[in-house]
């Protein structure tokens, strides 16, 4: 007896090279069968996903979801899980001094699967407290007062099941050097924001991540992907060769159509698509993962590519590809059901510039560990 069967959907699972109509059967929180025509009478619940795209549960590799513990944070259950992200990576909202509260009061109580990067700054992202407060200046100029490498390593060691690496953002390069040191002694990855380029890239090794790939800030200073004359900085190609991963990290200030178009035309694609959801981006221009994936389709990536960059590739970065980001038999039964709408849809970048897309993905159903979280597409 199966717990749930999703029938008649178009399954897109890049981990197995699948893009065709198939049924998926689940039991005890895992995928048990994936093939044509599974007998519907053998299940407690049957969802008819005819006309829908069925994918592994989406994985958003950059969110801020320490809800109620940081004023910028969003609630993972409503902002992520209900929008199709069954697993997320919190990108450094907390540091070594306040991670345990995040773990106890949010991570352990959420249905959303939450992994975390520990901020190299001991208190996490306090720097954007209020417009009249000067935390960024203080922190950037005085890393040694806000960072404790030993304490950071200790908290990583104690929470290795959740913490997968270290986040460096809004700090000077001295902070990045300390993040590198902490990551090397903890044997974990670094996610660095795409600033202080091209020097920043020199600190990153195989498996590390650059986020905010297509931001268009301080371009006159070569601060991100492109030089002043619009060429990809050559150090990015070198970083790709040594296995550095490129993450979208859309956010409220880090997605610029022109930078994205230029980057893509010069061969720089995001390995992973992520939202950088926080209260400053959730009500536009980001909204959610499917909207962000739709923007990359507008830019020329295929449906398979955007799904791979939102499922299997982030799962590999998390080191969880046997259980997440795949519909292989034996994997966790995390599934996102998307409507692939055709028409004319406006999409905006973080500078307020618009483009019209012909396709828009919208989440209409989510299954987490074999349990139906919600279903807007079929009547049982
Ligand atoms: Zn962020």
Least confident of 96-110, 134-148, 261-275, 304-318: 134-148
- Residue 309, pLDDT > 80, answer yes
Right CATH for 2-55+330-375 from 1.10.286.10, 1.10.10.10, 2.30.40.10, 3.10.450.50: 2.30.40.10
Would you kindly state where each structural domain of the chain is located, as residue ranges? Answer: 2-55+330-375, 58-318
Higher pLDDT, 81 or 142: 81
168 alpha carbon to ligand 1 midpoint, in Å?
10
Q: What is the mean pLDDT of the chain?
A: 96
Structure confidence at residue 380 (pLDDT): 61
pTM: 0.97
H helices present in the chain, as ranges: 76-79, 99-105, 135-141, 143-146, 149-158, 173-186, 199-202, 234-241, 257-265, 289-298, 303-308, 312-318
Instruction: Note the pLDDT tens digit of each residue in 119-162.
Output: 999 999 987 777 788 877 787 777 878 999 999 999 999 999 99
Beta bridge partners of 235: none
| pLDDT of the residue at 141 | 76
d(CA 268, CA 113): 29
pLDDT band at 221 (very low <50, low <70, confident <90, very high): confident
Question: From CA 24, how far away is CA 242, in angstroms rounded?
Answer: 37
Q: In the prediction, which pLDDT does 47 show? A: 97
- Please state, in angstroms and rounded to a whole number, the distance separating the CA atoms of residues 38 and 8: 10
pLDDT single digits (tens) 314-350 = 999 999 999 999 999 999 999 999 999 999 999 999 9
Query: What Å distances lie between residue 166 and 16, 242, 246, CA to CA?
Result: 30, 19, 16
Least confidently predicted of 87-91, 117-121, 144-148, 372-376: 144-148
> How far does the centroid of ligand 1 lie from the alpha carbon of residue 200, in Å?
17
Rounded to an integer, what distance in angstroms lies between the CA atom of residue 332 and that of residue 20?
Answer: 21
Work out the average pLDDT over 101-115. 98
Q: Give the Å distance between the CA of 208 and the centre of ligand 1.
A: 16
Query: Above pLDDT 70, what percent of the chain?
Result: 99
Which residues neighbour ligand 1 (ion) by CB within 5 Å? 91, 276
How far apart are the CA of 227 and the centre of ligand 1, in A?
A: 23
Q: Is the pLDDT of residue 379 over 80?
A: no
> How far from chain centre, in Å, is Cα 190?
15
- According to CATH, the topology of domain 58-318 is TIM Barrel (3.20.20)
Is residue 213's pLDDT more than 70? yes
CB–CB of 370/24 below 8 Å? no
- Ligand 1 centroid distance, CA of 253 (Å): 10
Q: What is the pLDDT of residue 273?
A: 98
CA of 254 to the centre of ligand 1 (A): 10
Q: How far is the CA of 276 from the centre of ligand 1 (A)?
A: 5
32-54 pLDDT tens trace: 999 999 999 989 999 999 999 99
pLDDT score at 128? 75
Rounded Cα distance between 73 and 174, Å, is: 26
Helices (H), 132-172: 135-141, 143-146, 149-158
As a whole number, mean pLDDT of residues 211-227 equals 93
């Amino acid at each position: 007896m199966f717990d749930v069967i999703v029938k008649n959907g178009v399954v897109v699972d890049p981990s197995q090279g699948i893009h065709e109509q198939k049924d998926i059967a689940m039991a005890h929180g895992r995928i048990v069968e994936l093939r044509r025509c599974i007998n519907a009478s053998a299940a407690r619940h049957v969802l008819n996903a005819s006309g829908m795209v069925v994918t592994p549960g989406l994985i958003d590799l950059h969110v801020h979801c320490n809800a109620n513990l940081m004023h910028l944070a969003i609630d993972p259950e409503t902002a992520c899980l209900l929008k199709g992200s069954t697993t997320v990576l919190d990108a450094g909202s907390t540091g070594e001094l306040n991670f345990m509260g995040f773990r106890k009061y949010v991570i352990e109580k959420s249905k959303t699967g939450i992994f975390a990067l520990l901020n190299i700054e001991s208190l996490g992202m306090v720097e954007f407290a209020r417009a009249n407060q000067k935390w960024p200046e203080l922190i950037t100029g005085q890393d040694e007062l806000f960072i404790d490498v030993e304490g950071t390593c200790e908290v990583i060691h104690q929470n290795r099941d959740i913490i997968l690496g270290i986040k460096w953002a809004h700090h000077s390069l001295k902070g990045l050097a300390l993040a590198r040191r902490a990551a090397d002694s903890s044997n974990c990855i670094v996610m660095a924001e795409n600033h202080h380029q091209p020097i920043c890239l020199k600190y990153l090794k195989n498996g590390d991540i650059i986020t905010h790939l297509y931001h268009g800030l301080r371009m006159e200073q070569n601060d991100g992907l492109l030089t002043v004359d619009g060429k990809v900085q050559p150090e990015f190609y070198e970083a790709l060769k040594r296995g550095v991963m490129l993450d979208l990290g859309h956010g409220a200030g880090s997605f610029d159509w022109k930078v994205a178009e230029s980057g893509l035309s010069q061969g720089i694609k995001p390995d992973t698509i992520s939202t950088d959801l926080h209260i400053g981006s959730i009500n536009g221009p980001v909204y959610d993962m499917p909207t962000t994936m739709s923007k990359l389709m507008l830019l020329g990536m295929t449906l398979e590519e955007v799904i791979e960059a939102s499922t299997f590739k982030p799962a590999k970065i998390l080191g969880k590809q046997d259980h997440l980001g795949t519909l292989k038999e034996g994997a966790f039964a995390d599934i996102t059901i998307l409507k692939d709408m055709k028409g004319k849809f406006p999409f905006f970048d973080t500078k307020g510039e618009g483009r019209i897309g012909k396709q828009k993905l919208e989440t209409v159903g989510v299954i987490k560990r074999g349990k139906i979280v919600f279903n807007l597409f079929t009547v049982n």
